[in-house]
Amino acid sequence: MKKCTFLLVLFLAAMAPAVLGQSIDIYPTNWWTGMKMNKLQLLLRSTSQSFEGKQLTTRYPGVSVLKTHRFENPRYLAVDVVIAPGTKPGMIPFQLTGQGAPETLQWPLQEQRKGKGTSYAQGVTSADFVNLMLTDRFSNGNPSNDRVASMRDQSLNRDSMYLRHGGDFQGIINHIDYFKSMGVTALWLLPVMENDRPERTEHGYAITNHYKIDPRFGSATKYKELSDVLHKNGMKLIMDAVYNHIGLEHFLEQDPPAKDWMHRWPTYTQTTYKEQTLFDPYAAPSDRKRMSDGWFDNIMPDINQQNPYMANYIIQNLVWYIQEFGIDGVRIDTYTYSDLEFSNRCNKAIMDEYPNITLFGETRVFGTPNQAYFNTNVFNLPFKSNLPGSVDFQCLYFGIIPALTQPFGWTEGVNKLYNTLSNDWLNQDATRNVLLLDNHDEPRFFSVVGEDVEKQKMGFQWLLTCRGVPQMYYGSEVLLKGFTNPDGKVRSDFPGGWPSDQKNAFTGQGLTADERSVQQLVQQLGTFRKTSSALQTGKYMHYVPDNGLYVYFRYNEKQTIMCVMNTDTKERTIDFNRYAERTAGFSKAENVLSKDALVTTQKATIAPMRMWVLELKK
């Protein structure tokens, strides 16, 4: 009897449809009810079987399969589906039928997370203070995930800037109070998707699977925990999105559905890195093509965004990512190298789904018109960008750096900062640009200004009072230094992030007096900014620089902040009457940092290479 029962079970198992073939992946991996993006193109991928002659169907109420698309690689299938309004969440059974045994593929349809636009997808604005960080270099909160046996890169050596160091999400979660003490309201992490490459995986830009979080940072669950912890503490999370390329080991490069999913050249062809070719009226078409279609790096295949299937894959992934992890803002990597019409389409899909969300692009170009071309701008040109803002490299390269490192001249020194800001009219809203002193690709500002502590302080005072969204690079507040070459020390570890560290920026242990003083300045001004309506959203007015003295105001009907920057080698006299349009009616100017008070009816003297942030009072 037992033998007969066993044979019957085997017979029924053979006759029943297979349940969720383990060799088949569906992208997106799941979706949600009530989304504006309810028409999807599912990409099915098998590592072991052909989809030739097969069809995908479902009887799930509210879900319809419209069309099937096949590729030269028979292990892929694209299927257009529609999720009708009112469809209930559940596990959708897709039946895969045709040649061979039928299979049932289970695909999750979930409820949306609550609070779109209020508790996530809130947007990041000039009222925020952003901290940019490499997860691998901030703090190691869980040593058990330092190496993952299944991954190609098994390095772990803090003595090398080009190997992994072990930082993770738990390390960030452990130090939320530190960010709050600095006045930081948003964290921007370099890409945290899987980077399963054999080397140089610390930066995250060579993505190998868009639907997996890199396990060396922690699980997807841990990343959601980080997002939740930030939101519970009144903070925001910014994702680093990559429209332009993937990693060489990505399955869409190693085993593509068709050859045209990436840009192919007869031999390796790198981009020209010349954004001018996109708007230059004299540019050769071949130069324009190489700019957009050339590879950014030989380990990063360039995405063919004119391939509609690849375009759908990227756009759907970005919406999925925002919804899955509760993202508030999106920084877009290497923005100028993508197909710009695709970028507009992608941006629109995100902003249609999340009207409050913020997008800003890495437009690392040279010239204010060049940067404005990629933003929403005032130009009457055939191409009109819908990108709200950019990382403001113009205010870095042609603004604060020359202001603090060049002698004053007609077009030199602080006049460059004045001239750069005077071109804000090229943008529809320059306050959406993200200001910076340094980042993971730039020399540390402290090194750029010759390790001059007072100049570093001036840089931070400018960063936190100028128009736009201020972004601090982790560790610059404790004077981390270094250049991009030859040793890459711009990506050094945050002191105190590892138990063996002798210096600890979280507790102050081992910090020098200079390091403490800069950290305290950022804490004080960053905290002040959180309640300063003028610095968050106020108007901007500046005066023509006079012998290295640059004065500007942030103001509204509630508050007026006067910023005095003396970039001269001599002390300078401040006559408040010179700025009567903004100082009239005020009797006192209180220094936000020192709390010293000045009488506005009298002249004052500011030392060379110093800056004041003054709150005017009646």
At 11 the pLDDT is 37
Residue 488 has pLDDT above 90, yes or no: no
**Average pLDDT of the residues of the chain:** 95
Instruction: Quote the tokens at residue 519.
Output: 């950290």
Residues with Cβ within 8 Å of 297's Cβ and at least 6 positions away in sequence, in order, are: 245, 270
Write down the CATH superfamily of domain 18-110.
Answer: Immunoglobulins (2.60.40.10)
130-535 shares the fold of 18-110: no
**Separation between Cα atoms, residue 315 and residue 306, nearest integer Å:** 12
Q: What distance in Å separates the CA atoms of residue 433 and residue 420, rounded to the nearest whole number?
A: 13
In CATH, the architecture of 539-617 is Sandwich (2.60)
- CA quadruple 596, 601, 602, 605: dihedral sign: positive
Domain covering 130-535 in this structure, CATH number: 3.20.20.80
Q: Distance (Å, rounded) from C-alpha 220 to C-alpha 544?
A: 51
**Which token pair is 115?**
């609070």
Cα–Cα dist 53/257, whole Å: 16
User: pLDDT for 34-89, tens place per residue?
Assistant: 999 999 999 999 999 999 999 999 999 999 999 999 999 999 999 999 999 999 99
User: What DSSP state is assigned to residue 266?
Assistant: S
Strands 610-617 and 604-606: unpaired
Give the tens place of pLDDT for each residue, 144-164.
999 999 999 999 999 999 999
pTM, 2 dp: 0.95
Helix, strand, coil percentages, rounded to 5, for the chain: 30, 25, 45
Query: 10 Å Cβ neighbour count for 487?
Result: 13
User: Model confidence over 174-184: pLDDT tens digits?
Assistant: 999 999 999 99
| String of DSSP letters for 385-418 | ----EEB-HHHIIIIIHHHHHS---SSSTHHHHH
| Cβ atoms of residues 81 and 42 within 8 Å | yes
Side chain identity, residue 240 = D
The type of residue at 430 is A
3-state SS class at 561: strand
Q: Where are the domains of the chain?
A: 18-110, 130-535, 539-617
DSSP 85-152: TTPPPEEEEEEEESSSS-EEEEEEEEPPPS-BTTTBS----TT--EEEE-GGGT--S-GGGSS-TTSS
pLDDT of residue 525: 98
Q: Does pLDDT of 10 surpass 60? A: no
